[in-house]
């Protein structure tokens, strides 16, 4: 299989696609950690960026043959917005935080799980395993169950019995 090249995105390319207001807002978003996930796709990047009106917006940025940025965002602006800028700046500053995905592998959970395992070392006891909730609860020590029950009771009881 032919190895794909990493998309090249520069500050100049970002500045050409937007105005100074959106650039400054996007820079602030990127510095604030608003870019939550990122993927390298065939000719660009995709990212999940927190938003002001929705929990997050999806951004897709492509690098054209003429080295111009094109793309879209699910926000009302659609392209050249602060979310697009934040995603591109995140890619420039931390390219290793973006996961490389082939188009046929995109959205395949087992591929995503393997990619995240490569990025983050998860201790064996914290790995997700496919067991039922009943099996998981029955595997917990009785003292932990008692403690959790008391915590839940103290949290919910005042609201449950407030009308009595």
pLDDT of 51-85, one tens digit each? Answer: 888 888 999 999 888 888 999 999 988 899 999 99
Long-range contacts of 78-82 (CB under 8 A, 24+ apart): 79/17, 80/17, 80/18, 80/19, 80/22, 81/18, 81/22, 81/26, 82/22, 82/25, 82/26, 82/28, 82/29
Domain range enclosing 140: 131-160
Q: Considering the domain boundaries, does residue 116 fall inside one?
A: no
In the structure, how many helices (H) and strands (E) does the chain have? Answer: 6, 5
In 3-state terms, what secondary structure has residue 86? Answer: helix
- Looking at the structure, do residues 69 and 137 belong to the same domain, yes or no? no
Per-residue pLDDT in tens (0 to 9) along the chain, 164 residues: 445 566 789 999 999 999 999 999 999 999 999 999 999 888 899 999 998 888 889 999 998 888 889 999 999 888 999 999 999 999 999 998 888 876 555 555 555 555 555 555 666 666 666 667 777 778 888 888 888 888 888 877 776 665 55
- Looking at the structure, do residues 146 and 99 belong to the same domain, yes or no? no
- Looking at the structure, do residues 100 and 136 belong to the same domain, yes or no? no
For residues 47 and 87, is the Cβ–Cβ distance under 8 A?
A: yes
- Looking at the structure, do residues 42 and 87 belong to the same domain, yes or no? yes
* 11 Cβ neighbours under 8 A, 6+ residues apart: 92
- Looking at the structure, do residues 140 and 99 belong to the same domain, yes or no? no
């Amino acid at each position: 299989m032919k190895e794909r090249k990493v998309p090249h995105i520069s500050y100049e390319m970002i500045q050409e696609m937007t105005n100074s207001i959106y650039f400054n807002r996007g820079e602030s978003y990127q510095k604030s950690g608003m870019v939550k996930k990122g993927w390298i796709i065939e000719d660009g990047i995709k990212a999940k960026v927190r938003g002001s009106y929705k929990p997050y917006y999806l951004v897709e940025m492509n690098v054209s043959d003429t080295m111009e940025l094109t793309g879209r965002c699910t926000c009302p602006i659609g392209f050249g917005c602060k979310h697009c800028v934040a995603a591109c700046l995140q890619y420039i500053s931390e390219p290793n935080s973006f996961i490389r995905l082939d188009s046929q592998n995109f959205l395949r959970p087992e591929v995503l799980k393997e990619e995240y395992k490569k990025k983050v070392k998860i201790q064996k006891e914290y790995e997700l395993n496919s067991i039922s909730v009943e099996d998981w609860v029955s595997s917990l020590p009785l003292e932990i169950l008692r403690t959790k029950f008391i915590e839940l009771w103290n949290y919910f009881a005042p609201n449950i019995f407030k009308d009595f």
